[in-house]
Amino acid sequence: MERGSAMDDFVLQTYGMTKEFKGFTAVNRVDLNVRRGHIHALIGPNGAGKTTCFNLLTKFLEPTHGRILFNGTDITDEKPAQVARRGIVRSFQISAVFPHLTALQNVRVAMQRGLGTSLHFWRSNRSLDCLNDQAVGILDLVGLKSFAGMAAVEMPYGRKRALEIATTLALDPEVMLLDEPTQGMGHEDVDRVMDLIKRVSANRTILMVEHNMKVVAGISDAITVLARGAVLAEGSYAEVSDDPRVIEAYMGSAANDELVEAL
């Protein structure tokens, strides 16, 4: 799935990105190059440092060492809100939507920043009605148009995850960071979210942490494998899944045919 342009057209890069916690190195000198317009998967065994990398990239954590560049600009010292305004927006492992708002209202809240009224809590709810058509369009994109009037708490789990992607899209990100987008889903929901990620990636870059290797194999342009906080391998799915180091990291001394099920 080659969709990049120039070989050096990277939207998000890290150089020696490191995070230490009182003597424990959770992320160890990670160099990451995410090409513009690609779906880039970050995978690895449990405890490999994947979510910590996400927290560093979105500045929920400050790196101990190293640099983070977005469109060539050093954002290492910026705050989470500054990074989000630049166009780097993330989802979380646990669905983070307002449970008692409808799907439409959740998307409108995310879009409110564009009106410049994000902190005007005393304004009437009707002041957001001008966003309805655009919000419905986003819900339609993620297959939730028929759920517009349903409270998030009443939505099936897979649809709720799709709503979180919708609220992320409502912020008009240049780069979407998706943390375990198919976690806890059945096969039908996994297939639906795979298709959704492919559709929403048309005009943006996606970096995702994902354990489901069917998803990784099916939609990723590039894969970075982490182990013990460091980059172990990079390349296409075919390349990394055939790498003896990756097999060892996932399976230890287990037989290679067991890797087919795990990877």
Q: Which of 150, 171, 192 is the last residue of a domain?
A: 171
What range does the domain containing 139 cover? 99-171
Residue 94 in any domain: the answer is: no
Inter-CA distances, 88 with 21, 30, 94, 209, 214, Å = 25, 19, 19, 15, 26
Max avg pLDDT among 144-153, 161-170, 184-193: 144-153
Give a yes or no: residue 3 inside a domain.
Answer: yes
Residue 93 lies in a domain: no
70, 187: one domain: yes
My answer on whether 83 and 179 are in the same domain is yes
Domain boundary among the residues 142, 171, 200 is at 171
**Is pLDDT at 161 greater than 70 in this prediction?**
yes
Please say if the pLDDT value at position 93 is more than 70. Answer: no
Distance of CA 16 to the CA centre of its chain: 21
Calculate Rg over the CA atoms of the chain.
19
Q: Which distant-in-sequence residues (6+ apart) come within 8 Å of 230 by Cβ?
A: 28, 29, 30, 49
Contact 174, 146 (CB under 8 A): no
Q: Are residues 66 and 2 in the same domain?
A: yes
Q: How many domains does the chain have?
A: 2
Q: What is the mean pLDDT of residues 11-16?
A: 97
Residues 6+ apart with CB under 8 A from 181: 91, 161, 165, 193, 197, 208, 210, 215
What pLDDT score does 262 carry? 46
Q: What is the mean pLDDT of residues 223-250?
A: 91
Q: Are 50 and 41 in contact (CB under 8 A)?
A: no
47-76 mean pLDDT: 95
Domain assignment present for residue 250? The answer is yes
Residues 242 and 255 placed together within one structural domain of the fold: yes
Mean pLDDT of 62-68: 96
Q: Indicate which CATH number applies to the domain containing 181.
A: 3.40.50.300
Rounded average pLDDT over 148-158: 92
- Same domain, residue pair 76 and 110: no
Rounded mean pLDDT of 213-228?
93
146 and 162 in a common domain = yes
Q: Are residues 35 and 145 in the same domain?
A: no
Mean of all residue pLDDT scores within the chain = 85
Q: Which long-range contacts (CB under 8 A, 24 or more apart) does 69-78 make?
A: 69/12, 69/13, 69/14, 69/15, 70/11, 70/12, 70/175, 71/11, 71/174
pLDDT at 115: 56
First to last CA, the chain: 19
Residue where a domain terminates, one of 137, 171, 205: 171
Cα separation, 124 vs 146, in Å, equals 25
Give the whole-angstrom CA distance, residue 263 versus residue 220.
14
